[in-house]
């Protein structure tokens, strides 16, 4: 590791610790811990959402995917962005109006039952743990590459940092680390994109012309079909991307950090602009890496292409730019995992311990203590799992998280808000079916079972043909929620009147 890199790392980490110190003094109640007291403005929360969303997988993963497989890599960018329309049109405002800290709160606004809250918390924890292992495994591998330190040291380093942000600074620290990182990440991306465009004389058409000959794929580089050859699998993946976001606990939790639905709306709009511009720029990152680093060098650094962006930075701006980009990537990982710890902790401390075990009868001090212990618990569990999961395919863990989010959470969120007849049985059936279908189908998919030794976790023939089960598990979640409702005769339309009025008007 160069001295420049070290200085930049220390600077960025130092900045996040200053933020945490400042935030810690403002985090005294459970509401401040989980939601920064609901006091973020629209643009602050918008940037924080963008920060949560632009994980290392987005920045490093998509840049690498576009560099190596051209248009097919860009599918991710499209899916991740259009997902915001689902969030804005269907979920954001009712969620803000009904919830307090967690998705379970929002579902419980309608069904005041422990078992519903328990299952909602279970699906949140499942998503968070899978997502978190993916981030930590990715982080470990990345930091190992960037800084040349051992995998386990890297995982521990990230683990200790994220736990520090969360237990001392709660959501306030997490949000501001997120905002800082979003700004730095955008800055880095804009600089690299500018340098790439400079090489092509600021002519996008020249760039596309030249890309036809600059990669081993030739003209195919610009056409779809390089990476995704199975149509159903492609569509299934696209379904998970577009519908999964609206069920991701750490993204949904961000809507409780603003004061009302109107601010929730404006934060989605800010996030959509930032995220949209970022994803457009991923083309320059990907093309640039393919053109100026070359696929051979990218693959030799990391087979999945994760090093494309840092290598491009080096090719264009030398050691300094590469160090900067690497430090930003590190900050990105830290911020995202902190957000994940927080949403996992809220499901555990607020839903399971606070509402189910203690029945909501806790003092402010007890709630804070529970939240902090739960944060440490979630962090330690993820670190241990990540240490064992080093060899696991990260993409499969992320796709699983998105799939569970879309299959278990989204159907129930939608029906809770919009369907008058929906009832407890439907909610339970929907969440459990979505969760179990997604988990089981992934367990028997080519991501886990592959006849070639080493290509997947287990050796064997896949029973389910698709790598991403969303196309089956999402409809299964909706269908089960519907059937559960119809089969059970229980209705509570009085409660629905309350939920509908609250969701649509914001009255408390």
Partner 1 sequence: MEKEIGQQGEKSVDFEKVAASQEFQQLLKAKKRFLIPLTIFFLVFYFMLPVLTSYTTILNTPAIGSITWTWVYAFAQFIMTWVLCILYVKKAGTFDHMAKQIIENHEEEGEQGL
Q: Which is nearer to partner 1, 61 or 73 (CB)?
A: 73
Exactly one of 6, 18, 78, 459 binds partner 1 (CB under 8 A); that residue is 78
Does residue 81 interact with partner 1 by CB under 8 A? yes
- Bridge partners, 449 (sequence order): 458
Q: Give the residue, chosen from 208, 357, 459, 460, that forms a contact with partner 1 under the rule CB under 8 A.
A: 208
The window from 263-271, 301-309, 360-368, 387-395 that contacts partner 1 (CB under 8 A) reads: 263-271
Please tell me whether residue 491 binds partner 1 under the rule CB under 8 A: no
Assess 231 for contact with partner 1 (CB under 8 A): yes
Residues listed for the chain:
508
**Phi and psi of 305, rounded to 5°?**
90, 10
Using the contact rule CB under 8 A, the part of the chain among 120-128, 319-327, 401-409, 498-506 near partner 1 is: 498-506
State in angstroms the smallest separation of the CB of 315 from partner 1: 23
Q: Taking CB under 8 A as the rule, does residue 468 contact partner 1? A: no
Q: How far is CA 357 from CA 6, 353, 370, 378, in A?
A: 46, 5, 12, 18
Among residues 15, 24, 90, 444, the one that binds partner 1 under rule CB under 8 A: 90
Q: Which of 88, 120, 127, 328 binds partner 1 (CB under 8 A)?
A: 88
Stretch that binds partner 1, among 79-87, 159-167, 322-330, 433-441 (CB under 8 A): 79-87
Kindly state the smallest distance separating residue 306's Cβ from partner 1, in Å.
23
Q: How far apart are CA 371 and CA 363, in angstroms?
A: 12
Q: Which of 11, 383, 308 has its CA nearest to residue 142?
A: 308
**Only segment of 218-226, 364-372, 433-441, 462-470 that touches partner 1 (CB under 8 A):** 218-226
The answer to whether 81 and 276 have CB atoms below 8 angstroms apart is: yes
Query: Is residue 262 within the footprint of partner 1 (CB under 8 A)?
Result: yes
Residues in CB range of 433: below 8 A, 6 or more apart: 407, 408, 476, 477, 479, 480, 481
Kindly state the helix (H) or strand (E) to which residue 502 belongs, with its residue range.
helix 493-505
Contact with partner 1 (CB under 8 A) among 239, 312, 338, 439: 239
CB 372 within 8 A of CB 125: no
Name the DSSP class of 92: H
Q: Name the minimum Å distance from CB 251 to partner 1.
A: 16
Closer Cβ to partner 1, 25 or 212, answer by number: 212
By CB under 8 A, residue 317 contacts partner 1: no
Helix residue ranges, H only, 215-307: 231-244, 249-252, 261-292, 295-301
Q: Binders of partner 1 among 333-372, rule CB under 8 A?
A: none
CB 226 → partner 1: shortest distance, Å? 11
Q: Is 223 in the site for partner 1 (CB under 8 A)?
A: yes
Q: How far is the CB of 25 from partner 1 (least distance, A)?
A: 28
Rounded to an integer, what distance in angstroms lies between the CA atom of residue 134 and that of residue 140?
10
Q: Which residues contact 400 (CB under 8 A, 6 or more apart)?
A: 130, 438, 439, 442
* Residue 89 sits in the site that holds partner 1 (CB under 8 A): yes
Outline where DSSP puts E strands in 417-466.
449-450, 458-459
C-alpha distances out from residue 481 to 104, 402, 428, Å:
16, 19, 7
- What is d(CA 235, CA 219) in angstroms, rounded to the nearest whole number? 24
Parallel/antiparallel/unpaired status of strands 458-459 and 449-450? parallel
Q: Which residues would be at the binding site for partner 1 (CB under 8 A)?
A: 71, 74-75, 78-79, 81-82, 84-86, 88-90, 93, 204-205, 208-209, 211-212, 222-225, 228, 231, 234-235, 238-239, 242, 262, 265-266, 268-269, 272-273, 276, 279-280, 494, 496-498, 500-502, 504-508
């Amino acid at each position: 590791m160069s001295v420049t890199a070290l200085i930049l790392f220390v600077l960025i980490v130092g900045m996040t610790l200053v933020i945490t110190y400042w935030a810690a003094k403002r985090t005294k109640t459970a509401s401040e811990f989980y939601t920064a007291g609901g006091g973020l403005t629209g643009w602050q929360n918008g940037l924080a959402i963008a920060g949560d969303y632009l994980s290392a997988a987005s920045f490093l993963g998509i840049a690498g995917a576009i560099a190596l497989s051209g248009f097919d890599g860009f599918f991710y960018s499209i899916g991740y962005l259009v997902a915001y329309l689902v969030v804005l049109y269907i979920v954001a405002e009712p969620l803000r109006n009904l919830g307090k800290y967690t998705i379970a709160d929002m579902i419980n606004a309608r069904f005041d039952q422990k078992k519903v809250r328990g299952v909602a918390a279970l699906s949140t924890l499942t998503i968070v743990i899978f997502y978190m292992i993916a981030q930590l495994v990715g982080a470990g591998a990345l930091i190992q590459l960037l800084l040349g330190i051992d995998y386990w040291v890297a995982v521990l380093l990230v683990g200790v940092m994220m736990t520090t942000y969360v237990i001392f600074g709660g959501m306030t620290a997490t949000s501001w680390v997120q905002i800082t990182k979003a700004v730095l990440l955008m800055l880095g991306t804009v600089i690299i994109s500018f340098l790439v465009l400079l090489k092509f004389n600021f002519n996008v058409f020249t760039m596309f012309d030249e890309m036809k000959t600059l990669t081993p794929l030739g003209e195919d580089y610009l056409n779809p079909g390089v990476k995704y050859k199975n149509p159903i699998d492609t569509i299934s993946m696209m379904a998970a991307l577009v519908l999964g976001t609206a069920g991701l606990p750490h993204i949904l939790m961000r809507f409780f950090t603003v004061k009302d639905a109107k601010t929730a709306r404006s934060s989605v709009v800010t996030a959509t602009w930032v995220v949209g511009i970022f994803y457009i720029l991923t083309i320059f990152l990907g093309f640039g890496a393919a053109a100026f680093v070359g696929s051979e060098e990218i693959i030799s650094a990391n087979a999945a292409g994760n090093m494309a962006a840092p290598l491009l930075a080096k090719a264009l701006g030398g050691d300094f730019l590469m160090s900067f980009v690497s430090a930003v990537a590190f900050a990105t990982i830290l911020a995202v995992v902190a957000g994940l710890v927080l949403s996992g902790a809220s499901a555990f401390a607020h839903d399971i311990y606070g509402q189910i075990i203690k029945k909501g009868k806790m003092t402010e001090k007890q709630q804070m203590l529970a939240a902090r212990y739960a944060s440490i618990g979630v962090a330690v569990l993820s670190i241990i799992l990540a240490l064992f999961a080093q060899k696991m395919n990260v993409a499969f863990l992320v796709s699983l998280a998105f799939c569970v989010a879309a299959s278990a959470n989204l159907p129930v969120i939608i029906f809770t808000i919009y369907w008058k007849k929906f009832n407890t049985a439907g909610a339970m059936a929907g969440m459990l079916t979505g969760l179990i279908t997604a988990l089981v189908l992934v367990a028997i998919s080519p991501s886990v079972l592959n006849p070639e030794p080493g290509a997947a976790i287990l050796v064997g023939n896949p029973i389910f043909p698709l790598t991403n089960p969303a196309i089956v598990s999402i409809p299964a979640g909706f269908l089960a929620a519907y059937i559960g409702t119809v089969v059970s005769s229980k209705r509570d339309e009085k409660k629905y009147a309350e939920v509908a009025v609250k969701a649509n008007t914001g009255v408390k």
